[in-house]
Structure 1
Amino acid sequence: MDQADIPALLSRLASDEDAARKMAVFKLQSSINDPAFADVFISSGGLVILRRLIMTAGGNTLAYSLQSLTRLLEVDMGWDIFEGPAAEDLVERIVELIVTNPLVNILRGAMSILVALVGRSQSSSIAGGGGGPGSPAGMSPRTPLAVRSPGTSGFRALKPAVAVYPQFFELVIQQLQSADHALCANALMLINALIRDAVSSDGSQSAGAAGQSAAGKGGSSVIGAGEEWSKFIKRLQDLGLIRAVFNLLQSSALQDLAHPLLEFQSLTKVLLRKWREVRVDLERPEHRRALKGLHLASAPDRRPAANGVGGAAEDGDGGKKGSRRHNPEKWRRLGFETESPTIEFETAGFLGMMDLTDYVRKNEDGFQKLLLEQSTRPLHDRCPVARASLAVTMILYDHFEVDKSDLEDIRGYQALNDPKTHDKLFRPLLLQWSRLHTAGLHAFFRLWKSTGAQRDDFDKVAELVRVLVEQVIGQAGRTKDVLEVEDDLQEYDAARLREIQMELLELSFEDQWGPHLFQVRDELKHEALQFVKEQRIRCLLQGSWFTKPMPHTRQESYTKRRLYQPWRYAKLSHNRRYLHYADFPEKLPYEPGLDALTEKVDLGTISSVVSNVSTNPEVESAESDADQSPNSSTPTLRHNGAAIAKPTTKITIFSFSDDVGDTSTSTPSGGADTSTTATPTPAASTTPGGTEPKEQPVLTLYPLNHSLASEWLDGLLMLLSQAPITAETNKLVTLVSEYGLKIRLLNVRLEQMYAGPGAGGRGSGAGVVPSREGLDEDYYYEI
């Protein structure tokens, strides 16, 4: 609309005909966000007419009027409408519309105006403009405002109207459940603006609990104003604010409400940070009452009189004079380290006290039973309840990165368009702080009991709880219910938790020690390989029994069956050059010596070793379990009435030698020579005649189980300078090397773990720089 048309527009806005006013204000809302147009409109007296429409009109005319004022405020103009004696009536009219009007388009406009009005105090305090995280979405940067009269912005501007309509906050929070996403977003932005105004330093005096003022306390002080803003936040929480926003964070409407939800999440961190910054001080009545409530909730008179130091707080003279001795364990029995509990709140601040008192208030019976149970144990075995509560508070504080600055949170706005990032940006569980603290504290008690911890192990249990929080809360999806999270915290296996902790610790070592750790791993793996090689070869030196399958050829079957000997014993010679073996009709009760083993194979002539032993860890594990099962259905053979287990694995040794030893290569059912083949370099590649020699089997072994097969197959390969190939041997090598690494890491001090190796590298001997005290300048260099 052209600026020249403004007089005619104002005439129609002031018309007595509703249709003319409606059309004029409809056109006004689409043009008034142009600063040049708005400047002429204001200088022509348009604010007076617009105010009159808001005060008297209804229906769409009122909705368009509210939208026009909203857009005017967005360009940081038109603030004069809230100045002067009539400003209070205008604000009261807007609050009245929110409380009494059911039309969505009117409610949206009214809330947008209040968002701008409340947020003005925050944005104007930022030098050079820039709406900042507390500014309503869409508002342009502002220049510093001139000195304004008191009560024209922030919660101060709303206080008189809220006093007339005390149900205002309740109805605003109810709009968070509206099906209209725009109205829901405006309601949440208004709540965000009110909270930010309440906790801001320049609005501390106006942050009272809906009608109370912080008089005479020096409002700029955090402690002086803390009582008022905390009451205000408590009132909003009592009206169901947390549950309503939590449901929005888990709803499918997240994309439409992303900005105000992310701002509310940021404000929640601001509140937690502000509560932590409040120092626990016994000079403050509310803090003194909280500590007294903790003591009384612990049921001090129910404590067994014979336990602990002294007789507790019983009457010193039988109650005749009514005097009571001071209980020397008054606070230590609650889990504090000393009898000065305020000192122990230094780290967690008033936030730690809030969490502890909230837990005790909601679990008073369990708290008393826990203290009674702990009082029956020696002092060093007791779980310090209060210290555990403060530790869980700080674990949650660190997990949710409460100290992260607002600017870092705002960077998340850039990723809002990607649904894949929503689980990282939005943390609904942050709003369930109290329930998570209680569940984390119960998990602390459970881990303390299951690990048999003592007082000196407190930090170790706290680290386990930290890992538990990262695993359960950190990996919980945006839509996961808090009940499931609480159950997971209580049921997570302590042994698995310890494994995860070791894995994380190892990763931290790798980050800090990098190539040094890799070098140690390689050395330990080589040492483990040599250790396992010697173990496998010793199995061969000790010797083992093997079975032989019954021959099933038709030719000379009678002779072969008559000469069939089902047992074979093999053993490596002491010089490790020959493999001796012999067949026996039955398994002897003793181990035959080398003199009884009439056959032998020269290891130097072996060309390859072939086996059907599986190299797959899963297959080998399943087969080993089947071998050890008492109900195993392994087929059996019978020879002379004796039952012999039918072998399923086979190891065949091939050679280029003309002196062929054992040529029985019959394969039992289930055995196939396709699984494993290892070929060492043969001793001679050609025969004296120049022809290529033919590879022939010289010995076949049928191990009784997979463990024996793994020992002999890898033992033979290692004797021939080959790498082991079975899963069982490789698992053993890994196990030995990992144990070696852990043993070496036990010699590393805690400060070295995270500081990394010295500049001199491995073995540099980096340590404390020696002092020059007592030295003079009489020195020399030895080269």
Structure 2
Amino acid sequence: MLSTQVELVYENRELSCLIDLSLPVADIVRTLCLDQLGLPDEPGRYALRLASTLELITDDNIRRKVSYGERIRLVVSPQAEARDMARQLQANTTTDRKKLIFTLKEAIKEPEFAVEFCRMGGLQIIMDTVRSTTGNSLAYALNSLANLMEHDFGWDQITDDFIHMLARLVVHETLVNVSRPATAVLIKLVCADATANGPIQCYGYAKLHQAMSAESDFLPSLVGRLSASDYVLAQLSLALVNAMSTHVTSEYTDEYQRELDRLGARKLVMRLMQLNPGEEMGKHLLDFQQIILRHQHQLKYTQLGPETPGVADLLNGIWQAARITETDKRVAVEASGWTGEVKWRLLGFDTENPWKEMQRVGLLGLQHMYHYVQSDADHFAKLIIEQLNRTSQRRCPYAHASIEVTELLSDQWNIGSGYAPATAFQPLQLVMEDVHTTTLLAFFRAWNHMEATTEDFDKVSALVRSHVRYTLQESEITSLFDYERAMLETPYEVMRARQLKDLEDEDDLLTKLAVRNLRERLYRESYEFVKQQRIECLVR
């Protein structure tokens, strides 16, 4: 027996009682109802809560929560409240419907209430309420559903037509107190696929895609709300975009990503990063950044070939934009001494097999190359003709330079690994194709300043790599405008001086005692390893 003195509060009555904490809470309640208060109702309708916080007292927490002199309240149990509320809402005749729904959105957070409410058909009650109400009542009902979905039970029977209705609310509803919970519910539904940790795995992206097909303005509306004046709505909208990007299935991935890019989602997120976001928004922004990094990684390792979908169209678009005439071709061939087919060599490839040359940057590199062309087609055509009219040694090969720039930017942002520590915003990574365009312009600028030849290609690349590293890391530039100015207006002498300083710093590091000792030890170990291998080969 583990008895303690408590102060029991029931309605307007308050009395001191001795309760045995070793007994089940149901037995304690029964004793209090019958012996202390003489209540005529069934004791099962009651429960105990802490008077200070109204936290429900259960068998699991009674010994931790109840101590000597604790004030506890005898109240209607959450199960009884759930049954009463379900019956009243099902009757659909009460004049206090709005008040009941308002109460429901908080009560349903408690598992004991939620279990009983769902047993009484609570999910259907909530869906019917959402369908039949507007304004604040609709907002309360949606919040009730969102709070129910915090549990791992009770929401596995949401119908397709109801999901369509939620999508319509996101598109057409102007009240933010309705849009917020509707968006929160869709986040839960998208995440509840076969990869979910919880037991409910019957929804996922495909369910929302059906609704999006019926509501063509869904994604434009959602992306537009990333710049909403209501901060919480913008945050929830970004969370839904992240959920969709993470859970989109393979058959919809390309279509979904193209639409996001067309709507300018990455540039909107980039602006959010520059507005000193709060902690919760910051988490969603870093999640988006990581999603984009994984997408870029996937593109980089998408191998190219003549049959790869979309590749032929991109290459043909680049070729047509170059506007190379037969005269240009003849001049270039005579200056270079080329023989045979020369189509792709005219654009700066080393061979007539562009797919093979682009293997190290994959589809990502080809998209960057195409984006550069589309950003200013006239400039691109002029650039190609200018290079073809130079001697073969003085040409800066466009395709080769574009591939090199994609590679150095990939190294800068760890795209090759597909993962980077999500601790700092990298807004320029989100618009990598624009950064590539600017960096490629800087590459041509450096080539001209150095009066480089084809043998100097690696030297130009090293200079540009150094300049990119300084611009993105040391100067902490976060906007495209500032990046363009730094890359294209910094004097060549300054770029070269920084590169030389970097080389000196590397030399200083290599001359430190610890580094020298490490190098010597590794040399000895590798020497002994090779020596032992050769001895073993001779013995055999």
Same fold (TM over 0.5): yes
Q: Distance between the aligned counterparts of 1:775 and 1:6, measured in 2?
A: 81
Q: Which position in structure 2 is the counterpart of 1:33?
A: 109
2:84 paired with 1:2:
no
Instruction: List aligned pairs for 1:589-628, cutoff 5 A.
Output: none
Tell me the distance in 1 between the aligned counterparts of 2:460 and 2:350. Answer: 17
> CA, structure 1 residues 80+759, in 2 after alignment: closer, same or farther (shift >3 Å)?
closer
> Is contact 1:396–1:437 with CA below 8 Å preserved after alignment?
yes
2:250 matched to 1:204?
yes
Largest Rg, 1 or 2 = 1
Cα separation, partners in 2 of 1:156 and 1:483, compared to 1, 3 Å: same
Is the 8 Å Cα contact of residues 282 and 288 (structure 1) preserved in structure 2? yes
Query: What's the counterpart of residue 226 of structure 1?
Result: none
Question: Could you say which residue in structure 2 is the equivalent of 1:63?
Answer: 139
Q: Distance in 2 between matches of 1:487 and 1:257?
A: 29
**Cα-to-partner distance string for 1:711-735 (whole Å, 9 max, x where unaligned):** xxxxxxxxxxxxxxxxxxxxxxxxx
Partner of 1:461: helix, strand, or coil?
Answer: helix
Normalised to the residue count of structure 1, the TM-score between the two structures is 0.55
* Cα distance, 1:773–1:341 mapped onto 2, change above 3 Å: farther
Is the Cα contact below 8 Å between 2:183 and 2:237 reproduced in 1?
Answer: yes
Q: 1:485 Cα shift?
A: 1.3
Q: Does structure 1 retain, via aligned residues, the 8 Å contact 2:427–2:479?
A: no
CA distance in 1, matches of 2:404, 2:315: 18
1:397 to 2:395 alignment:
no
Q: Which residue of 2 aligns with 1:584?
A: none
Amino acid at match of 1:448: W
Unaligned runs of 5+ in 2: 1-76
Match of 2:520 in 1: 758
Query: Could you give the per-residue CA deviations for residues 374-420 of structure 1, whole angstroms, max 9, x where no partner exists?
Result: 223332221111111111112112212234555843xx3xxxxxxxx
Tell me: CA distance 1:426–1:761, structure 2 relative to 1, closer, same or farther (3 Å).
closer
Look up the match of 1:51: 127
The structure-2 alpha-carbon separation of the partners of 1:309 and 1:403, relative to structure 1 and needing over 3 Å to count, comes to: closer
Distance 1:335 1:773, change over 3 A: farther
Partner residue of 1:500? 498
The one-letter code matched in structure 2 to 1:332 is: R
Query: Distance between the aligned counterparts of 1:470 and 1:171, measured in 2?
Result: 37
Instruction: Report deviation, 1:476.
Output: 4.5
- Maintained 8 Å contact 1:276/1:348: yes
Calculate percent identity across the aligned residue pairs.
29
Contact 2:163/2:208 (8 A) holds in 1: yes
Tell me which residue corresponds to 1:232: 256
Do the aligned partners of residues 389 and 247 (structure 1) sit closer, same or farther apart at CA in structure 2, a change above 3 Å counting? same
Asked if 1:166 is matched to 2:164, the reply is no
Aligned residue number for residue 354 of structure 1: 367
Q: Is the 8 A contact 1:383 1:455 kept in 2?
A: yes
Deviation of 1:774 (Å): 12
Match of 2:195 in 1: 125
Q: Does 1:436 align with 2:435?
A: yes
Q: CA offset at residue 486 of structure 1?
A: 0.3
* Residue of structure 2 equivalent to 1:655: none
- What's the CA shift for 1:497? 2.1
Query: Using the alignment, how far apart are the partners of 1:158 and 1:238 within structure 2?
Result: 20
CA deviation vs aligned residue, 1:444-471 (integer Å, no higher than 9, x gap): 0011111122222222211211111111
What does residue 183 of structure 1 align with? Answer: 233
Distance 1:105 1:17, change over 3 A: farther
Distance 1:334 1:775, change over 3 A: closer
Tell me the equivalent position of 2:388. Answer: 375
SS for the counterpart of 1:258 is helix
Q: Greater relative contact order (Cα 8 A, min sep 6): structure 1 or 2?
A: 2
Deviation of 1:495 after TM superposition, in Å, equals 2.5
**Inter-partner Cα distance in structure 2 for 1:276 and 1:243:** 21
**Counterpart mapping for 1:104-119 below 5 A:** 104-119=176-191
TM-score computed with the length of structure 2 as normaliser: 0.78
Aligned residue in 1 for 2:100 = 24
The residue type paired with residue 20 of structure 1 is D
Q: Give the C-alpha shift of residue 305 in structure 1.
A: 5.4
Q: Distance in 2 between matches of 1:483 and 1:51?
A: 49
For residues 393 and 367 of structure 2, the distance between their equivalents in structure 1, rounded to whole angstroms, comes to 27
Please tell me the residue identity of whatever aligns with 1:298. A
Q: Secondary structure at the match of 1:307?
A: helix
CA-CA distance at 1:67 after TM superposition: 0.8
Correspondence for 2:284 among 253, 256, 260: 260
- Matched AA of 1:357: Y
Letter in 1 for 2:498: I
Q: Deviations over 1:32-75 (max 9, x none)?
A: 22333322221122112111111111122211111111111122
The equivalent residue for 1:99 is: 171
1:710-725 alignment runs, 5 A limit: none
The C-alpha deviation readout for 1:559-609, integer Å capped at 9, x for no partner, is: xxxxxxxxxxxxxxxxxxxxxxxxxxxxxxxxxxxxxxxxxxxxxxxxxxx
**C-alpha contact 1:173 1:239 (8 A) present in aligned 2:** yes
Specify the alignment match of 2:512 in structure 1.
514
Cα distance change on mapping 1:378 and 1:776 into 2, 3 Å: same
In structure 1, which of residues 314, 328, 333 is the aligned counterpart of residue 346 of structure 2?
Answer: 333
Which residue of the partner structure matches residue 221 of structure 1?
Answer: none
The C-alpha deviation readout for 1:467-486, integer Å capped at 9, x for no partner, is: 111111223547x4321210
In structure 1, what is the Cα distance between the partners aligned to 2:190 and 2:537? 69
CA distance in 2, matches of 1:326, 1:506: 45
Equivalent position SS for 2:285: helix
Q: Name the CA distance, whole Å, in 2 between partners of 1:406 and 1:65.
A: 40
CA contact 1:513–1:757 (8 Å) conserved in 2:
no
Cα distance between partner residues in 1 of 2:443 and 2:97: 67
Asked if 2 retains the 8 angstrom alpha-carbon contact of 1:381 and 1:454, the reply is yes
Cα distance in 2 for residues equivalent to 1:405 and 1:765: 31
**Structure 1 match to 2:244:** 194
* Aligned amino acid, residue 499 of structure 2: Q
Does the CA contact (< 8 Å) of 1:279 and 1:346 recur in 2?
yes
Amino acid aligned to 2:195 = S
Whether contact under 8 Å (1:310, 1:328) holds in the other structure is no
Q: Which residue of 2 aligns with 1:308?
A: 332
Counterparts in 2 of 1:449-468, with a 5 A limit?
Answer: 449-468=448-467
Supply the distance in 2 between the matched residues of 1:776 and 1:45 (Cα, whole angstroms).
82
Contact 2:305 2:311 in 1 (8 A): yes
Q: Distance in 1 between matches of 2:108 and 2:214?
A: 32
Contact 1:352–1:389 (8 Å) recurs in 2: yes
1:251 to 275, 279, 292: 275
Gaps of 5+ in 1: 130-141, 208-228, 313-324, 413-424, 519-754, 778-783
Paired AA for residue 455 in structure 1: T
- C-alpha distance 44-758 of structure 1, shift in aligned 2 (>3 A): same
Q: 1:326 to 1:164 in 2, by over 3 A?
A: farther
Equivalent residue number for residue 160 of structure 2:
88
Give the SS at the match of 1:79: coil
The 3 A distance-change label for structure 1 pair 775 and 238 is closer
Q: Secondary structure at the match of 1:381?
A: coil
After TM superposition, list the pairs within 5 Å mapping 1:262-661 onto structure 2.
262-301=286-325, 303-304=327-328, 306-309=330-333, 328-403=341-416, 408-409=421-422, 412=423, 425-477=424-476, 480-515=478-513
Q: Give the letter aligned to residue 130 of structure 2.
A: I
Change (3 A) 1:440 1:56: same
Distance 1:179 1:19, change over 3 A: farther
Given the superposition, is the C-alpha separation of residues 259 and 13 from structure 1 closer, same or farther in structure 2, using an over 3 Å criterion? farther
Give the counterpart letter for 2:361 in structure 1.
Answer: A
CA contact (8 A) 1:758 1:766 kept: no
Q: CA deviation at 1:310?
A: 5.5
